Amino acid sequence: MPAQRKRKAEATTPVDENCPTVAMFRQYQLELDTKHDKHERLVKLSRDVTIESKRTIFLLQRLTGSSPDIKILEEAWEKLKAIENIKLLSIAKELDQEDPYKFLRAYSPGLQEYIEAVSFYHYLKNKKLVTLEEVQKDLTFITTCSSMDGIDNGLSQLTTQKIEKMEILDTQCKVICSESEMDKESREVQVHVPPTEYILGLADLTGELMRLAVGSVGKGDLDTPFQVRDFLQLMQSGFVSFGNCGREIGRKLHTLRQSLQKVETACYTLQVRGSEIPKHMLVDVLSSGPSDYGSNFDNDMAANDD
């Protein structure tokens, strides 16, 4: 067998930390870490917005009748304002001087859920749809901040990083401070609401309106289903005017059609067979599938006869 060649020990060249190339990649690493940290903070804030918005929607579902309870509306309004002034304001500060579309996927779920809650509130109070301009106005804030805010946020999130990264931040901080002289001014920050996010939030509203229509029957309110039906028909006529829409909008448009179909079938049942069905059975009949309305009612009546 041929003698095995011994691999010569490779000479290791020490890395010069002061090399411009190394410093450049250190800077790239710092920028990526800062971006990922901001993304994670936005995801957590979005999750909090989603939770609080769902609680507001559950509260609004307690409203019944054509004249809603003022106390519940006021409580829901306070919850919405708390979401805006705490969680969404924090998101707006995170997005200050940033491209909002770069982080849109991080806070999109919370924004859509908030739009759903706000639009549900406006419908119950005013019987109309909230506009994109109204939503954007509520998510525009005047805050007192300085050029140090972004640096402070970065420093607080990088305490475990290496000393070299801290020195880079310190250098950037000194340059910015020398240019702005630490002037604190009131400036406008906002959570940017793209039209697509607004549309997706409104599409989610249709499910809540469907539940409102069916639930109101069990509470003796037989007018709300017909009002919701007319409103959903107007919404569908607006949605179908969209041409080449994305996959997510198409999926939610399908959900809108299903919700409208359930409400229309419920209104048909109330109008045609409402006098036949006892009031205590209306909710069970309307909650069943559209094709099961007749069979469920006949089976229940047969069971009662037995």
Binding-site entries for Mg(2+): 116, 208
| Start-to-end Cα distance in the chain | 97
Q: What's the rounded Cα separation, in Å, for the pair 110 and 93?
A: 16
> Cα–chain-centroid distance for residue 110?
3
Q: What's the rounded Cα separation, in Å, for the pair 157 and 142?
A: 25
> Do you know the residue count of the chain?
306
> Cα–chain-centroid distance for residue 93?
17
Write the DSSP assignment of 119-163 as a string of letters. HHHHHHHHSSPPPHHHHHHHTEEEEEE-THHHHHHHHHH-TTS-H
Q: CA nearest 110: which of 156, 25, 44?
A: 44
CB 191 within 8 A of CB 111: yes
Q: Which residues are annotated as a binding site?
A: 116, 208
- Write the burial class of residue 218 (CB in 10 Å: 0-12 exposed, 13-18 middle, 19+ buried): middle
3-class SS of residue 174: helix
Buried-exposed string 156-171: b where 16+ CB fall within 10 A, e elsewhere? ebbeebeeebeebbee
